[in-house]
Structure 1
Amino acid sequence: MTGRAGGAGVVPEPGALVHPPDRPTLLPEGHTNAVGLTLGLVGDEWNLLILRYALLGVRRYGEWRAALPISHAVLTRRLAHLTEMAIFERVGYEGTANRFEYRLSRRGRDLWPILLSIWGWESAWVPSHGESLPRMLHRRCGREFLPVLTCAACRRPVRPRDVVGGFGPSGTWERSVPMATTRRRSGPTGEAGAGMFPETMALIGNRWSAAILGGAFQGLHRFRDFEQRLGAPPTIVAERLRVFCELGVFEQTPSAERSDWLSYHLTDKGRAFFPVVISAIDWGQRWFTAPEGPALLYTHRPCGHPFHTQLTCATCTTPLRGNEITARHPS
């Protein structure tokens, strides 16, 4: 492998990325950007489920097999991919040379705001779950809570309309669509073992769902915009828009241009998913850097500072840390 030495690492050849677990990956110029790579990672339902259990302390292959309805081949592929992406570090255990456990790296542990935002959204907006959804407990204040998205600069609560911006130097629609590196499991929406997070899987559980939802937060609302800007097949766009409307995340309205056209706009439930989307973008841009610059640039309108995410406890209003959060299961 060849590359150019740099202060933070090596710029690799396309297809041969180096992912240091404790510092950002440097991306090839002109290729998939931080948004596309992140959506490809968290926009895969098996990855999300594996990470959910990893953040709860699971480290060993057999524990994932026992907890998830997952085949040997799929789990092996996902663990290999997450290790290649430096989300996990594979470490030998029990004094043997051929038995390993998968420990979250620094970049893997840094995923907790995304998973916590998903947990919070499902708790607030999804009434029915395949498993009983535990309540969040903040160890610092000792009380149950839901996370609140705030600005890291001014610590005020943030709504989608408070954040303005768009594509940066490495940001285009083409470069932001995740690569199809994995295949979604078949099955009806919200089923197939999604468990605690059924509707999240329907929203970001495959590459086109994640891309369409991201496009909606970027201002896309017409069928042809989703199709043309994202390069998505029309049958996929139609099916995804139908599912999003059924879930109450999008609503159809007549187009202002022509009465026989439809527009698709985020509902309150859809806008409430914003912390998941923006936390994923923020994580991605911390851990993947393009030589041209960031993929997306946002400003928090009320304070005027560049926007970066911070999650706060709704009960005691202090900033959250991953190691201060635990689950309280219903009795």
Structure 2
Amino acid sequence: MTSDAAEPTALTPGGINAVGRILGLLGDEWTLLIIQQALLGATRYGEFMERLPISNSVLTNRLRALTENGLLDRTVYRSRPVRAEYLITERGRALWPVLLSIWEWERRWVPEQADRLPGMRHTACDSDFAPTLSCQSCGEVVTEKEVTAQWGPSGSWPRSVPEAVTRRRSTGDTSRGQAGLFPETMSVFGNRWAAALLVCAFLGTSRFTDFQAQLGAPPSLLASRLQTFCANGVLCVSRQTGPARTCYQLTEKGRAFFPVIVTALQCGQRWFHAPEGPAVLITHICCGKPLLGLLTCDQCALPLTGDQVSVG
């Protein structure tokens, strides 16, 4: 492993910030699925191959990337022949709130996923549950309407857009079957501009010209992303009077993606540090304190931990 996974990665001054780094990591479905299986106990190459419809070349490349980014730790357990296992690190384990939020959003808001993704059970209260985003300071449930956000010292749109994301699956990658557990999440995270565009919408941007001015994205690409978000119901078009009559508004489905955004931002800023300081500062309006979101059980209101969640 190229870095100590227990310590945050120091980023280059003036370069891609924590937001860009975490969006780049989450922009590949195989990364999410490998981390998911690692959280469920997979450690060896053969176990990942058995559990995922993934080709050898794709798995090898992803395991290497996950090791280089400190999410997995490659440990040799046999020297002749060389055999290694991939143990999930503290940094990799910190992604579980993001995965849990994605799982719930896909299960709740993507019709074809209702039967494909089973429900979740909270073993602490022995109830089927849905995760709820709450403020750690005051304990209140948090929605996007109850927070304010502003750029921190390392924050700006150019620094928050990933340099690149891992190549998406090709037909050859899925020759052993379809993965696609998070198809609409990948419409958000699987494109280097899409996630930044959605964050922009959460911050109140609604007009095409404003999206373009803030993100600096090519107009044709921006139009394509907006069209995708409207097609999958994350955004809707509203007509208003004035010069810029077309506005793009978050739908209920789009607003429900808020826990995914918050948990991803928190994970990014915990594990990737720019020398200038944080990229984004989020305040919970109700208590006036910096938002530290945590997932709680909607049945018993207790904080969730990864080892208390069972699927099926």
Q: Identify the TM-score tier after normalising by the shorter chain.
A: over 0.9
Q: Aligned partner of 1:200: which letter?
A: T
Instruction: Work out which of the residue numbers 43, 46, 53 in structure 2 matches 1:62.
Output: 46
Q: Which residue of 1 aligns with 2:192?
A: 207
| 8 Å contact kept, 2:7–2:271 | yes
> Unaligned 5+ residue runs, structure 1?
1-16
Q: What is the rounded CA distance, in whole Å, between the counterparts of 2:80 and 2:285 in structure 1?
A: 55
Kindly state the Cα deviation for residue 287 of structure 1 after the two structures are TM-superposed. Answer: 0.8
User: Quick one: distance in 2 between partners of 1:194 and 1:240?
Assistant: 23
Question: Gaps spanning 5+ residues in structure 2: where?
Answer: 172-176
- Residues of 1 paired with 2:40 and 2:101: CA distance? 15
* 2:102 corresponds to: 118
CA RMSD of aligned residues (A): 2.0
Distance 2:203 2:230 in 1: 18
Q: CA deviation at 1:51?
A: 1.6
What pairs up with 1:61-100 in 2 under 5 angstroms? 61-94=45-78, 96=80, 98-100=82-84
Is contact 1:147-1:313 (8 Å) kept? yes
Q: CA deviation at 1:59?
A: 1.8
Task: Render the CA deviation track for 1:192-245: whole Å, top value 9, x for unaligned.
Answer: 934332221222222222221122112222223333322322222122111111
- Which has the larger displacement, 78-87 or 176-185? 176-185
Give distance in 2, aligned partners of 1:205 and 1:57.
Answer: 26
Aligned residues: 307
Cα offset for 1:131?
Answer: 6.9
8 Å CA contact 2:5–2:70 kept in 1: the answer is yes
* Alpha-carbon distance in 2 for matches of 1:62, 1:233: 42
Greater shift, 74-83 or 232-241, is seen at: 232-241
Residue aligning to 2:243 = 258
Aligned to 1:238: 223
Structure 2 counterpart of 1:306, from 286, 290, 304:
290
Question: Does structure 2 retain, via aligned residues, the 8 Å contact 1:130–1:195?
Answer: no
Q: Which has the higher contact order (CA 8 A, sep 6+)?
A: 2
Find the aligned partners of 1:308 and 1:242 in 2 and give their Cα distance. 33
Give me the whole-angstrom Cα distance separating, in 2, the residues matched to 1:109 and 1:140.
20
1:133 is aligned with what amino acid? Answer: L
CA distance in 1, matches of 2:167, 2:74: 24
Distance change in 2, residues 1:312/1:291 (3 Å): same
Question: 1: CA distance between counterparts of 2:140 and 2:115?
Answer: 34
Q: What's the TM-score once normalised by structure 2's chain length? A: 0.92
SS at match of 1:102: strand
Q: TM-score, normalised by structure 1?
A: 0.87
CA contact (8 A) 2:94 2:267 kept: yes
1:136 maps to 120
Distance 1:42 1:117 in 2: 13
